[in-house]
Structure 1
Amino acid sequence: MGKSRTRRFRRPQFSPTGDRPAELAAAENGAERAEVDGPAAELLEKLQHPSADVRECACAGLARLVQQPPALPDLARRDAVRRLGPLLLDPSLAVRETAAGALRNLSACGGFEVCDDMVTKDIMTPLVALLKECSAGLDSDEMSPPEKKDQSRSSIENIANEAVNVLWNVCECSSRALSIFNKEGCLEIVLKYLSRFSTNVDLAVSVAYCLQTVTEDNVELLKSFSGPALQVLESALLSPVGSLEYILLKTLVAGTIWNLKDIIPSKSQAEIINAILKTLSEVLEVDAGEVVIRMKEAEMHRLKAAAEAEDPPENANGDGLIEDDEMEEIPRKKKVRRKTFISDLLPPTNKELREATALLTAQQTALELIVNMCCSEGLLPQTLPVGTEAEVAVGAGWRGVTARETAFSGFLSRMSTVQCRALVCLQSLVSLLDVEHLGGAPALQALVQHLSQLLFSQPDFAKHVDFLEAISSALRALLQTMASENISQQCVTPDQLMTLCEAGILSSSVGVRVNVVSILGITGSVLAREDGTLETLKTIGCFLLEVATRDPSLVVAGEALDALFDVFADGREAERASVQIKLLPALKEFQPVFKAKIRKEGKGKYSPDQLCVLDNVKTNLRRFVAYQETVEKRLTT
């Protein structure tokens, strides 16, 4: 398995917020109309306006406009990057922040090509200058009077946060940006931001994302890491958890430290690896289901408050209640609406949803980091936290909230993603590690039983293709390992596996179909060595034969044939079953058809690797037919 990357999440984007001055209403409306009508020219022209408020408004409009993919080519033609770049150093702090936000959204939405173009158009020069000015501004802010200190620091940190996100995006996509990062001393700047994690976790998380990106396979940068720099990372890794966002911070820092393992003295490596693994274990042990429950309870409290606000009870004195006729007696006063909308009671940013999203992102990152660590030759696998993969699968699989609750629909999607990642991680670990490092036979049997319960507790599991592919891959790896180690598979019944396979073979996903026929082949080959399994083997054989001869994909058909070879390769019960289902004549009839399909469809639809596998199956089919002829002759004479 190749190296798993942890950086392909959907990026949080800049969203202009806050109250607008009344005199900006017309300009704001104009920006909204420009977004609808599509003329980027109007917004770009306003970037040069003498009024800082208008420049800010234009940047905010562009921040929204770049999130519409059709607008990107027009913005590129009009040189939006070169027009926005100078505003990173605008005299107005508000303009700096919104300009950086617009560039952040552009780099997040535009992908590799747009980011590379941004570097070509020299966005790094004003960006690095802005990062340095923010760093200096934070130092000078420490000397400011107390009454101005908090407001000034908050503005500078907000600007720095947007700038770091731009830096992260372009460094991930452009080797030239990464080279500039190395040469311009950006490491020292972002580490200073990270050191403020106790007072601004948002900025620290952005820096941690950036550091995890720039430290991956960057030998030149690794030389720049000094003892104090490593101490900043260590301090963040070992910091107490103040919120779920701190869990995300610690996970990202763990990933950065893992990237730096080659420069850590050998005498300290074991201690560092254990600290990383302890962090990952703590992340995966958090039950996302409990987090959802807290979110749901908070939402119910808000809904209850909203309902009470719509029909407030009268108190004994009637305080605070003004009847309509009383209002009529108050001259020149506007009537007050008593109705309060639910949205009025929601916080500007949903703290529960935000923290839960941070948790799931942390768990997803931790799972991928564990796979990367397993793939590393230098890691002792016995130090890995056994069982955490299954635990997070349980937590992420919690179904106590329905998708109809729209406040949580996006969160439920993230839960599903983490659940699938946990299953993929489990599959990788089972494939990579020895049985003793996975907890031995009892642990594997418990995992299979748990995954079976997780699967069959969802009556509509076949509708969720990603989940079905992930869980069938994990089951396939577990059953294969157990079969190779002669570990009993009684923890899952043949009837359960047939239910999975009958549903899975109808899936549109070739991966799912390959997994389920492979699972049947593994299970059938085990049952073939046992007594009293004739009827089950006949059922499995008929199913696999049907798939081999009727599935439209040659890849699935080849996997089904391989499974048939495994099931009926040996064993008295297998031999009897093969004769009773008339396996030999069916395969003899299918053999020329299979060869013709490979010759006709092969080169146009399948990769060279797939064709190589299919050629091997074709050869094995010929040999298996010959073997079955000897079996049938022996049993019928």
Structure 2
Amino acid sequence: MGKSKNKKFKRPQFSAEGLPVSAAKDIEEEEEVDSPVGELLEKLQSPCADVREYACASISRVVQQSQTIPAFLQRDAVRCLGPLLLDRSLNVRETAAGALRNLSACGGLEVCEDMVKQDILTPLTALLRECCVGLASSTENPPKSPKDQKNVVEAIANEAVNLLWNLCECCGRAVSVFNKEGLLDVVIQCLQQHPHNMELALSAARCLHTVSEENTELLGALTTGALGALESVLLSAQVGMGHILLRTLAAGSLWNMKSCLPSEQQAQTLSALVATLSQSLELDSGSLIPALQEAETARSTTQTAEAGVDGDVEAVEMEEEGDGDGVVRNKKTSKRDNNISDLLPTEKEELREAAALLEAQQTSLEIIVNMCCSDDPSDDEWEETSSSDESELCDAVCEGNSGLLSPLCLSAEVHSALLNHGIPQKVLKKTEFPSNEAMEVCSKSPSWKSLIKKMHRVQCRALTCLHSILSVMDPESLGGTPALQNLAQHLSNLVFSTPEIPKQEEFLEAVTSAVRSLLQIMASRNIPQCMGPEQLMRLSEAATRCDAISIRVNALAILGITGSTLARQQGTAASLQMIGTALLQVASKDQNMVVCGEALDALFDVFADGKEAETAAKNIHLLPSLKTLQPVFKAKLRKECKGKYSQDQLCVLDNVKINLRRFIGYLEKLQ
């Protein structure tokens, strides 16, 4: 989606196994204390493949601590690791790709851009091409054991595709290389391994979902085979959370590529696409997560009991395991950590299932937001400044010439599909706070705690999705006045159910966007709603203290909508004074001109008309306050805004300046 990631992928914990006997003791001692950066990079040049493998694995582990990354970059770690992607040892290739993958994932945007500048994509592309040769035979003859060379090739491909995904998600130049080198075929080939290698298929699906967004050059290179492979995944019927996630990612990629679909196929694909999203959202994580955790506990208990019986046999087998060079290879520690994401090892299969479920639901909600976008200009130009997830999700995916994109077809086809599958109701259900049972289960287990943040993120994405649905759908299709009033009560419960307004910025951004859209609709239809001005003041006060500009803008818009509604009612002067004072304070003191402009716009709306507004304006000395503010606003606009704000924002701010002059004239006439 064009945003940097901070995911950490824990790579295998390599021990001294596989090293020459004479080196084993020294290496084990070094593992107790992280080797200095220089020593690890020097080991990458060792003539011994086992030493190179160990060094790559150690770097992979160390760079998960982001404070170590600058030291590696200063010593040209990327240039040292790059050639090892094509090392003669397959194990070295895998661990080198894993180290670069972790470096890109933990280093973020700037590190990824630096890696691309250092031409890491050249050896990575060559590696992916070589993997394709192995994958071609693997498709017909799936690997039968962990030792199978095809299995090793798939493991290398998984690391390489994840590295490619990280780079393309953070760096536009990487996407250009992806297009130029025709890497779509490689990713599709990895996607097609899903019948026997779900991890590789998911990595490929994530990469494709990212790289296909707003990529017109890629759309021009799409083949019938690539679209067919995606549709095959979309229509697959395998059960399990991994398969649900895979189908969801395929749905997202197909939505990004919809303009390339034959016209006679669009309706069928759209229906299957929305059905996939619906299937993901209808699952109840609140009951499934506790059930999965219980299953993990039961399996662990059984395995512990069996371990007492099988331990002696296993010890004998490990003693006999060798390769003729006198080195004993420990079969237990040679197992890979087949991670999907966020430190989830193979033996945590139930945890992986739960994480896949939450990722599928988050991704589904993001796709629906994209589907709700239109080419029409926003009625709120201030959103241009938002760095929120919402603006990232709405990245103008609706550009293009597909028939599905025209406003008429968007309403007739996309909206119908969303309504036919009950998407608005399912989205609303996901806006609820995570269940207490699921939260309690996850909080008690260190390995499951990471899911708490994921559950809250699904809720925030659902609130953002609700905002989008409200922005584009006819209220009558959502249930009319009763449904809107129930929704207002629901949002009120989310925000005001505790003495303090929730302080998490991600939640505040999403919930204020939803409240703002709902209040706008209800105000335009004169529908009474349950949230009073005092409550909305509390919400706005909490929001205006946030660093995120978009949250502050939402809060001011909420006050403007509330105030303009109250101005048409009797006996509301006191509430209007409270709102006007808050807006004046922001307009006078906020350091961001966009926020100041939104506050002034809200003031214009609140005090534009009505006896109650006139009374309140006099009581808060609105006219002299605005006269004092006017020259300051004009000076800031002239001196501080060039280069700091976009051209569109400057145009809107200039309109605010003009409206401020006119509004002052209006207030003077009233007096």
- Do the two structures share a fold, i.e. TM-score over 0.5? yes
Deviation string for 1:508-563 (max 9, x for gaps)? 54443332232122122122223454544444344444555565655545433432
SS state of the match for residue 204, structure 2? helix
Query: Is residue 16–residue 28 contact of structure 2 (8 Å, CA) maintained in 1?
Result: no
Partner AA of 1:413 in structure 2: K
Partner AA of 1:478 in structure 2: L
Q: Distance in 1 between matches of 2:164 and 2:548?
A: 38
Partner AA of 1:207 in structure 2: A
Per the TM alignment, residue 463 of structure 1 is displaced from its structure 2 partner at its CA by 2.4
Partner AA of 1:131 in structure 2: C
Partner AA of 1:366 in structure 2: S
For 1:175-214, what aligned pairs fall within 5 Å after superposition? 178=175, 181=178, 186-214=183-211
Partner of 2:17: 21
Partner of 2:157: 160
Partner AA of 2:12 in structure 1: P
Residues 121 and 454 of structure 1: is their aligned pair in 2 closer, same or farther, counting only changes over 3 Å? closer
TM-score, normalised via structure 2 length: 0.75
Per the TM alignment, residue 394 of structure 1 is displaced from its structure 2 partner at its CA by 1.7
Partner AA of 2:529 in structure 1: Q
Of 525, 528, 531, the residue aligned with 1:492 is 531
Partner of 1:331: none
Of 409, 429, 454, the residue aligned with 1:391 is 429
Q: Distance in 1 between matches of 2:54 and 2:92?
A: 8
Partner of 2:516: 476
Per the TM alignment, residue 265 of structure 1 is displaced from its structure 2 partner at its CA by 0.8
Partner AA of 1:49 in structure 2: S
Q: Distance in 2 between matches of 1:621 and 1:149?
A: 71
Partner of 1:61: 58
Partner of 2:645: 607
Per the TM alignment, residue 224 of structure 1 is displaced from its structure 2 partner at its CA by 5.0
Query: Is residue 67–residue 109 contact of structure 1 (8 Å, CA) maintained in 2?
Result: yes
Of 557, 562, 568, the residue aligned with 2:607 is 568
Residues 25 and 452 of structure 1: is their aligned pair in 2 closer, same or farther, counting only changes over 3 Å? farther
**Are residues 1:401 and 2:439 paired?**
yes
Deviation string for 1:278-307 (max 9, x for gaps)? 11222223333334433554677799999x
Q: Distance in 2 between matches of 1:107 and 1:548?
A: 41
Deviation string for 1:376-407 (max 9, x for gaps)? 23452323333333222226586862696444
Q: Distance in 2 between matches of 1:82 and 1:535?
A: 67
Q: Distance in 2 between matches of 1:220 and 1:508?
A: 37
Deviation string for 1:393-434 (max 9, x for gaps)? 226586862696444443222223332233223323333444
Residues 150 and 449 of structure 1: is their aligned pair in 2 closer, same or farther, counting only changes over 3 Å? farther
Deviation string for 1:339-358 (max 9, x for gaps)? xxxxxxx9864333333322
Partner of 1:235: 232
Query: Is residue 31–residue 43 contact of structure 1 (8 Å, CA) maintained in 2?
Result: no
Query: Is residue 86–residue 126 contact of structure 1 (8 Å, CA) maintained in 2?
Result: no
Partner of 1:595: 631
Per the TM alignment, residue 83 of structure 1 is displaced from its structure 2 partner at its CA by 4.2
TM-score, normalised via structure 1 length: 0.79
Q: Distance in 1 between matches of 2:580 and 2:177?
A: 61
Residues 561 and 600 of structure 1: is their aligned pair in 2 closer, same or farther, counting only changes over 3 Å? closer
Residues 131 and 493 of structure 1: is their aligned pair in 2 closer, same or farther, counting only changes over 3 Å? same
Per the TM alignment, residue 272 of structure 1 is displaced from its structure 2 partner at its CA by 0.8
**Are residues 1:277 and 2:274 paired?**
yes
Q: Which has the higher contact order (CA 8 A, sep 6+)?
A: 2
Query: Is residue 4–residue 170 contact of structure 2 (8 Å, CA) maintained in 1?
Result: no
Alignment RMSD (CA, Å): 3.9
Partner of 1:88: 85
Residues 80 and 161 of structure 1: is their aligned pair in 2 closer, same or farther, counting only changes over 3 Å? same
Q: Distance in 2 between matches of 1:588 and 1:356?
A: 59
Query: Is residue 137–residue 156 contact of structure 1 (8 Å, CA) maintained in 2?
Result: no
Query: Is residue 119–residue 176 contact of structure 1 (8 Å, CA) maintained in 2?
Result: no
Per the TM alignment, residue 208 of structure 1 is displaced from its structure 2 partner at its CA by 0.7
Partner of 2:370: 372
**Are residues 1:289 and 2:319 paired?**
no
Per the TM alignment, residue 455 of structure 1 is displaced from its structure 2 partner at its CA by 1.1
Aligned residue-pair number: 584
Q: Distance in 2 between matches of 1:300 and 1:37?
A: 39
Per the TM alignment, residue 254 of structure 1 is displaced from its structure 2 partner at its CA by 0.8
Q: Distance in 2 between matches of 1:442 and 1:552?
A: 41
SS state of the match for residue 157, structure 2? helix
Per the TM alignment, residue 43 of structure 1 is displaced from its structure 2 partner at its CA by 2.4
Partner of 2:494: 454
SS state of the match for residue 380, structure 1? helix
Partner AA of 1:13 in structure 2: F
SS state of the match for residue 123, structure 1? helix
**Are residues 1:463 and 2:459 paired?**
no
Partner AA of 1:373 in structure 2: M
SS state of the match for residue 666, structure 2? helix
Partner AA of 1:113 in structure 2: E
Partner of 2:46: 49
Greater displacement, 494-503 / 167-176: 167-176
Residues 395 and 205 of structure 1: is their aligned pair in 2 closer, same or farther, counting only changes over 3 Å? farther
Query: Is residue 86–residue 123 contact of structure 2 (8 Å, CA) maintained in 1?
Result: no
Greater displacement, 22-31 / 86-95: 22-31
Greater displacement, 606-615 / 405-414: 606-615
Deviation string for 1:534-593 (max 9, x for gaps)? 5444443444445555656555454334323322322344344445xx24x343144224
Q: Distance in 1 between matches of 2:629 and 2:292?
A: 58
Partner AA of 2:369 in structure 1: V
Per the TM alignment, residue 488 of structure 1 is displaced from its structure 2 partner at its CA by 0.4
Deviation string for 1:155-213 (max 9, x for gaps)? 33222211222233344556675566556664444333322313221111011122223
SS state of the match for residue 11, structure 2? coil
Q: Distance in 2 between matches of 1:556 and 1:224?
A: 43
Partner of 1:333: none
Query: Is residue 134–residue 159 contact of structure 1 (8 Å, CA) maintained in 2?
Result: no
Of 459, 463, 467, the residue aligned with 1:427 is 467
Deviation string for 1:93-120 (max 9, x for gaps)? 3323212212322333443323313536
Q: Distance in 2 between matches of 1:440 and 1:115?
A: 53
Residues 225 and 575 of structure 1: is their aligned pair in 2 closer, same or farther, counting only changes over 3 Å? closer
Q: Distance in 2 between matches of 1:621 and 1:155?
A: 68
Query: Is residue 389–residue 425 contact of structure 1 (8 Å, CA) maintained in 2?
Result: yes
Query: Is residue 60–residue 103 contact of structure 2 (8 Å, CA) maintained in 1?
Result: yes
Partner of 1:317: none
Partner AA of 2:37 in structure 1: G
**Are residues 1:521 and 2:593 paired?**
no
